[in-house]
Chain A
Amino acid sequence: MSAPREPVFLARETYRHRRLRDAARFLPFLAVFVFFIPMLFGPEAGTAMTKVFLFFAWLTLIIVSFLVSRRLATDIDVQQGDGADDGQPG
């Protein structure tokens, strides 16, 4: 009985926020992918090189997580207690 009352085309700001949440959901999969890359390294890749790669990738993930989470934190502020983020992405 209650059809989604949202407009078909969302305001740019809302649209960005929806995609931001998608990014947050996607990020752990990226992390797993990146962390498993060293398994593909050949025998010539030494510990030092693997280590440099891993820590560089790790730091990058932390920075991306920082950028995404910082903006999502304000989302929680606004929506604490409701289910808006479970709505269908527009």
Chain B
Amino acid sequence: MLTFNLLVAVCAAYVGFLFLVAFAAEKRARRGRAAWLRSPLVYTLALSIYCTGWTFYGAVGYAARSGLEFVTIYLGPTVIMIAWWALLRKLVRIGRTQRVTSIADLVSSRYGKSTALGVLVTLLCIVGTTPYIALQLQSVTLAFAVFSPTEAVDMNGTALWVALGLALFTIVFGTRNLDVNERHHGVVIAIAVEAVVKIVALVAVGAFVVWSVAGGTGDILRMIEASPIAEYRVQPERWVTLTFLAGAAFLCLPRMFHVLVVENSDERHLATAAWAFPLYLLLISLFVIPIAVAGLAVMPEGANPDLFVLTVPLEFDREGLAMLSFLGGFSSATSMVIVAAIALSTMVSNHIVLPIWLSAGQGGATVSGDVRNVVLLARRMSIAVVLGLGYLYYRFSGGGEALAAMGLIAFVGVAQILPALIGGIFWRGATRIGAGLGVSIGFAVWIYTLFLPSFGVGDVLSAATFEAGPYGLALLRPQALFGLDGMDPLVHAVFWSLALNTGAFVLGSLLSFPHPLERLQGATFVNIYRYSDSARGWGRSFVEAEDLLVMAQRIIGPMEAQALFVSVAAEQGKEGYLPDVTPEFLERLERELSGSVGAATAHAMLGQITGGVTVSVEDLMRVADETAQMMEYSSQLEAKSEELQRTARQLREANAKLTTLSIQKDAFLSQISHELRTPMTSIRAFSEILMDGDQMNRADRRKYSTIIHDETLRLTRLLDDLLDLSVLENGQVTLNEAPATVGAVLDRALAAIESRAEPGSLKIRRERAREDLPIYTDADRLAQVFINIVSNAQKYCDAEAPELRIAVQEIGGSVAVDFIDNGSGIPKASQALIFEKFARLTDQRAAGGAGLGLAICREIMLRLGGSVDYLPGQGGAAFRVTLPRAEAMAAQ
């Protein structure tokens, strides 16, 4: 006999296994070997979270009560999947190009990045999903109870442990990082594994029933005809309503949208899922009727048909099969809860927590601190809250029939998003007002006609309300709205909620006038195949790229942000970290940010920095005017003008550089002259003084000869530097390259600085543990660069307690050594100049340099195959030295 404890042990082992699978997948993905993790097969299997614990156990019970009607739950999604070319492909394309993070985000983004709509859809999803999560907890606890008929199981305790375990799993793998694409490799792989477990389990039980309990297919068909199920006849209005409802829910359920759109990495996966997922559904439902028939035949009167999948194998003492079946149900319930919690927590944090935090935090993005931590914390707390709500709902609804009906009721709830969603992607005229009205009215009607009545007569709504309507208003009876009597309550609710919803949506859209951003987003979404790579929204503005970098670093992380800025700058034909702030760049940045914090929030954050410059009249004209559109998007023209713009920009920059260079060439000669003559002046003057100074005392004589001596040294140093630079520039230098580590070279450089006369008050902070990176380089030359940068910091860092942080990290195949001080940094205008010869930002004579140090550093790094750049946006002055890694060199 299977004991309860054994069951718990198996469950724990299974969950442990899932943790391992998810962990391994994350690890592989991090090493960039995620290809097979993202195959069409995994995508298809992940979609199977549509089949929850409710469908796994409940479908058989449904069939035992209402015959074939259960199959409509699978027919709806089949139709939607088959419609992938016209419908899903568009959703997925929109999802990817607009970096959509959830269904609330899609709706909010489509209707002008509206915060209010995001909140509304999020609330709707929470209300619709909480009972659904409760249902999953119930299915798991009921299944546990089946295995321990003798001992009384603490049902609430079991549900609590399951909820806690799921919260832990979801937090660990669902909020590991703030992926720009909001994709979770570990979670997806784990639910794909669970998908396999549940279909194997259900097919195994089905095969056992057909070929072992009955005598084969012919036999089982005869059994079906002989059973009470044979009496069932298709009821057209329920058949149509349920098929439609299932299809709508398949699109609108937060968890389905998450897997279908957000986790999709390739549109081509849809082509596979288009047939593979209907096949999965067919297999899942193939044996439902046989199991129901067998259950009704062999189980005692009054046995719960919802648990036939477990009890039938147990009745025949097939404990292994029963265990498999239990794991199947467990998988169905857990995978649904995990994905639903991730999807909901994303919505809650992006559409509720962050907007509140932003408006409360006086300037939000400009406040110091890492926004990512806030987002992650919000996600984690939301997950805990969502699961906690599910558990509480389970506790206080008391389980049972009321909860079992909850599956379909939740479907009707989330289906209220459908008109706004479909209207939003196919109808340009749909507006925010229309969508808001439609969704809220549908939401209200759903609550009144279906959700509240589901608690039973006399519970929330009194019997009198059911009979005669609220306050005796017969027209408002919850299950016979406007006198439409005698309908099936579910059909009634679907009819009225969606009819009023759609009506309000259409009418509201027709009568209201959208603001510019809505019109732009509308055009973008509806014509997504034409606009694929750009959502217009940012006019020209006068924001500094450096401010944007500071903000972006806090949201998507320093490395990602710097990589993004460098690549945009390179596309514009510029060098360095700061691209021109063009509308295109702002749009791209906003999309990247919205991948982390949602469209509305990203828009608001950028709005704060750019001073709310959004849509210019010019931009609007472009979209409104069809002719202009045709001209603009006639693709060759666009490509050409872009090419021209790029060339022009490059030319402009080259020209500016040439002009500067020619001025610099002149200045260079003057400079050399000046640098040589200044020490010579002192030398000549003092030697003349010494020559005719007989009456001079000993101390003066000593002082003046010391000056001559020092100035001679200065001259020598200058000549050394000039020679060094000239040798480096002409490429005549020989490098003594050998293996070394970054830490060792840093040690050597810092030792050299300490050994100098003036100790200096600069405090240096290092992280030795991260410096042990192998490089293959000329250690003397590299040390020279480090010495130069550190002594610059010593001279120019103007903080009260000057401090220099040296951070070593790997970026791509390179090693980056960052030197960041806490002074006031270098003004933007000078950042491009400091690497030029004799560039001086302050009175440098006192500091004793000729202004050649950084120019020499730049040449050295060029010879060593790396670079040295100024790194803006770090607080103080910051220099980044980049070197190739040792392996990369060896591989050449």
Chain B nearest CB from A66 CB (Å) reads 4
Task: Say whether A83 contacts B239, CB under 8 Å.
Answer: no
Q: Decide: A83 and B529 in contact? CB cutoff 8 A.
A: yes
Question: On chain A, which size bracket covers the interface?
Answer: 35 or more
Considering the complex, which residues of chain A in the window 45-90 have a beta carbon less than 8 Å from any beta carbon of chain B? 46-48, 50-52, 54-55, 58-59, 61-63, 65-66, 69-70, 72-73, 76-77, 80-83, 85-86
From A28, A36, A59, A73, B272 is in contact (CB under 8 Å) with A73
Which residue of the partner chain A has the closest CB to B280? Answer: A62
The minimal Cβ–Cβ distance linking A84 to chain B, given in whole angstroms, is 8
Q: Which residue of A lies closest to B269 (CB)?
A: A73
Contact of A35 among B79, B87, B222, B286 (CB under 8 A): B79
Whether B239 contacts A39 by the Cβ 8 Å rule is yes
B268 contacts A61, C-beta separation under 8 Å: no
Q: Is the interface of B mostly helix, strand, loop or mixed?
A: helix
Q: Which of B68, B82, B282 contacts A47 (CB 8 A)?
A: B68
A55 touches B79 (CB 8 A): no
Interface residues of A in 13-56 (CB under 8 A from B): 21, 24-25, 27-28, 31-32, 35-36, 38-39, 41, 43, 46-48, 50-52, 54-55
Residue B267 is within 8 A (CB to CB) of chain A in the complex: yes
The answer to whether A48 and B225 have CB atoms under 8 Å apart is yes
A11 within 8 A of B: no
Query: Are A39 and B236 interface neighbours, CB within 8 A?
Result: yes
Neighbouring A residues of B240 by C-beta, 8 Å: 36, 39
Bound CA span A2–B626, Å: 13
Q: Which residues of B contact A8 (CB under 8 A)?
A: none
Instruction: Give the residue name and chain of the B residue nearest to A73 (CB).
Output: B271
> For window 181-240 of chain B, which residues contact chain A by CB distance below 8 Å?
221-222, 224-225, 229-234, 236, 239-240
Judge whether A55 and B282 touch: CB under 8 Å.
Answer: yes
Contacts of A51 in B (CB 8 A): 68, 224, 289
Our pick among B67, B282, B635 for the contact of A82 (Cβ within 8 Å) is B635
Query: Min CB distance, B292 to chain A, in Å?
Result: 10
Q: Whole-angstrom distance from the CB of B633 to the nearest CB of chain A? A: 8
Is B761 positioned at the interface, with any CB of A under 8 Å from its CB?
no
> Within 8 Å of chain A (Cβ to Cβ): is B631?
yes
Q: Is B617 an interface residue (CB 8 A)?
A: no
Q: How far is the CA of A35 from the CA of B80 in the complex (A)?
A: 13
Contact A61 B71 (CB under 8 A): no
User: Whole-angstrom distance between the alpha carbons of A46 and B233 in the complex?
Assistant: 8
Which residue of chain A has the shortest Cβ distance to B635 in the bound complex?
Answer: A82
- The distance from the CB of B650 to the nearest CB of chain A, in whole angstroms, is 25
Complex interface: chain A residues within 8 A of B87 (CB): 28
B86 within 8 A of partner (CB): yes
A5 CA to B703 CA in the complex, in Å? 89
What would be 29 A-B contacts, judged by CB atoms less than 8 Å apart? A2-B634, A24-B86, A27-B83, A35-B78, A38-B234, A38-B239, A39-B236, A39-B240, A46-B230, A48-B221, A48-B225, A51-B289, A52-B221, A54-B68, A58-B78, A61-B78, A62-B275, A62-B279, A65-B274, A66-B275, A69-B274, A69-B275, A72-B271, A76-B267, A81-B533, A82-B635, A83-B530, A83-B532, A85-B529
Interface residues of B (CB under 8 A from A): 67-68, 71, 75, 78-87, 89, 221-222, 224-225, 229-234, 236, 239-240, 243, 267-268, 270-272, 274-275, 278-279, 282, 286, 289, 527, 529-530, 532-533, 627, 630-631, 634-635
Q: List the 8 shortest-distance A-B pairs measured between CB atoms, nearest first.
A: A73-B271, A28-B83, A24-B85, A66-B275, A83-B529, A69-B274, A69-B271, A65-B275
